Chains A and B, each alone.
Chain A
């Protein structure tokens, strides 16, 4: 099955018509918190199975429970009295033979003339199949459409191909009533064997009754036979009861485990955050100390050196000026300033004391000398030029000594500034680290104020419950093994009694029924084990694919159906406890991929993998490996991811590893980004932006 497109109209956070096209291959959809990622996942679930996840109650709910809340707020607000508003999701997909399907689910909400909503209970479903060869359309509606749909997308498998990261533990549970067991039934068609087993059991029971009801010639033998048969029945009942107890307790244990892990992760996450904040505070304190040190360095020494330091590097200019000055001097372009008193003296004596000529009143020479009289500007200008040359000379002297004078200051300042820069980088790195693990909506202050003791107590309580559950399971297992052993002994004893019986005909028929029953059971067990081992083998294939790429992942997958658990083991087959988050997510993805892969084989068609992926908690390389795996191992994958980049910061956006991977991976033909549009809550709705 290949999903071609999804069209979402007025559904939850989606306002008006929105469309996403998919390709055979991977599609990545990014979105920050509350931009409509989960609503997109809901759209797939709703159109296929009439269910959407209510986050507040953490339950999947049908249209009849969602009612008018399914329809986008803005669309409802715009609906006029006497009209109606509808939400719909249309899914276009192809089957293996390229027959095309258009699946549409719609929920209409009429508004009365008085402005009241008239709320229908159900949505309308329609499915149109267009034959690949003849192009003929066949339409199915409501129940018929549902039936057709379940043949194409079996609901019991839906938890695997519609992969909801947050509720992953539910699909990892292998107990009798779990999603896995349901999926197993669907994917293996094991009910045929179950029926055969039930018939064989019934036949065996009837023939046993015939055998036991017929009195044997040997009365004592007959009585022993009856007594033993009753004991066996009782033991069988007890074993069945223990089996049920075992399954119930395993389910209970899985719940405890989930709660414990949730609490443990919460504690670990908060502890990690708190540790980062502590380190940040420590670094910040160090930075402040260094800042103070730098400030004191500057305050104490800056004024001394700064006045000169401002001119550091100006020696070329000063030298050039001084040369220019000297040259002008040589060329006499800058005359020596003539003192006013000296001019007055010359005029009084009617004699030029520069050239020695006479300067009679009104003569040219006299006039020339007089022209210098009171010419203060010339005096001032020349004096200023001379002054400037002195200032320049003086500064040049200082400038050439600057490197030495400020070297020590500069080095100590440089050193402390390097330290400050390094501390700033460390603080920035801590902030980024914190941002990658901090849950959305929780502030740093809230983390600091968290009561770790209480979380620790809760975690320990769950651990105690979990340990208690494990002991109980062991106890039940022990009891069951004991009963089974006793049953085997009784059965052996009973076998010998059968052999001694003189009722040949009944005896033979009973023995034959026993053989048929044993063979059927064996066949059933063999088939079941085969599927389980296929799933395990495939899970290991995918897990290895991930471990090769990522050194942080290790171990092998063990699908322990007897103990109703999936976990990782080391080379020696020993179970690995306390595995890290990356290993856990990879294990989950590998397991889901394996179940789908095996089911693909049984159903002879491929299911698309649509994931509201739980990989935000994974760091850099682990995250990329997980995305890589999801897009590589499935024929078609639609991966909805939390966008961890700071979209408002172009640098951060440019360096975002996920975007870089999307752009660089040629297999990814389509990528989208979801953003929230609108200024207020009433107006806000999801906007789909195509980024690739």
Chain B
């Protein structure tokens, strides 16, 4: 697999709000549940899920307040996910030129992931109990946008 233009050693920027409210709550088990049993065992998976949702819903959202110490690096996003995110970024911009601007590409993916997670947050705000049953909510959101698209 060819390396992505994004410097793999860079940290992935996430919104401080989502880090506290979404990443930490969904990717950390406080019930002793093994992390592999979580819907999102790692934060990068949640990041990817958010980005896919953001691109699907065309819902980018600039990071308002960057988390001071982002929790993972681009190299942690496994194949083929990062490539698929780049595919979506190119599709969104309808230009391959973005590949020559790694910073813009990175920001684009980060903003769509942020937007996707914002949609998830809105759903969770409607039903705070859904945190306890996140798969069900993800399921609903997933099936909803599958139906819509």
Contacts and interface: CB of A to CB of B under 8 A. Distances in A.
Interface of A: 294-295, 298-299, 302-303, 306, 309-318, 320-321, 324, 328, 333-334, 380-381, 383-385, 387-388, 391-392, 394-395, 403, 410, 413-414, 417, 420-421
A310 B83 contact: no
B32 to A, nearest CB: 13
13 contacts: A295-B37, A306-B39, A314-B52, A321-B90, A381-B99, A391-B80, A391-B84, A391-B87, A392-B84, A392-B87, A394-B80, A417-B133, A417-B135
Given A310-B49, A321-B90, A388-B86, A316 B96 contact: no
Contact of B80 (A315, A380, A395): A395
B56 A313 contact: yes
Contacts of B99: 381, 384-385
B76 to A, nearest CB: 15
Which applies to chain A's interface (DSSP): helix, strand, loop or mixed?
Answer: helix
Contacts of A312: 142, 146
B91 interface: yes
Contact of B149 (A298, A316, A380, A417): A316
Given A310-B52, A314-B55, A413 B135 contact: yes
A295 to B, nearest CB: 6
Interface stretch (B1-9, B11-19, B20-28): B1-9
Interface in B46-72: 48-49, 52, 55-56
Interface residues of B, number: 35
Contacts of B56: 313-314, 317
B8 to A, nearest CB: 14
The 3 closest A-B pairs by CB, nearest first: A313-B146, A313-B149, A321-B91
B54 to A, nearest CB: 11
A387 B149 contact: no
A309 B53 CA distance: 12
A383 B1 CA distance: 10
Contacts of A299: 36-37
A384 B4 contact: yes
A320 B139 contact: no
Contacts of B77: none
Contacts of B143: 410
A394 B81 CA distance: 12
A301 B142 CA distance: 17
B83 A298 contact: no
A388 B83 contact: yes
Nearest to B57: A313
A381 B36 CA distance: 35
Contacts of B4: 384
B100 A395 contact: no
A136 B91 CA distance: 91
Contacts of A387: 1-2, 83
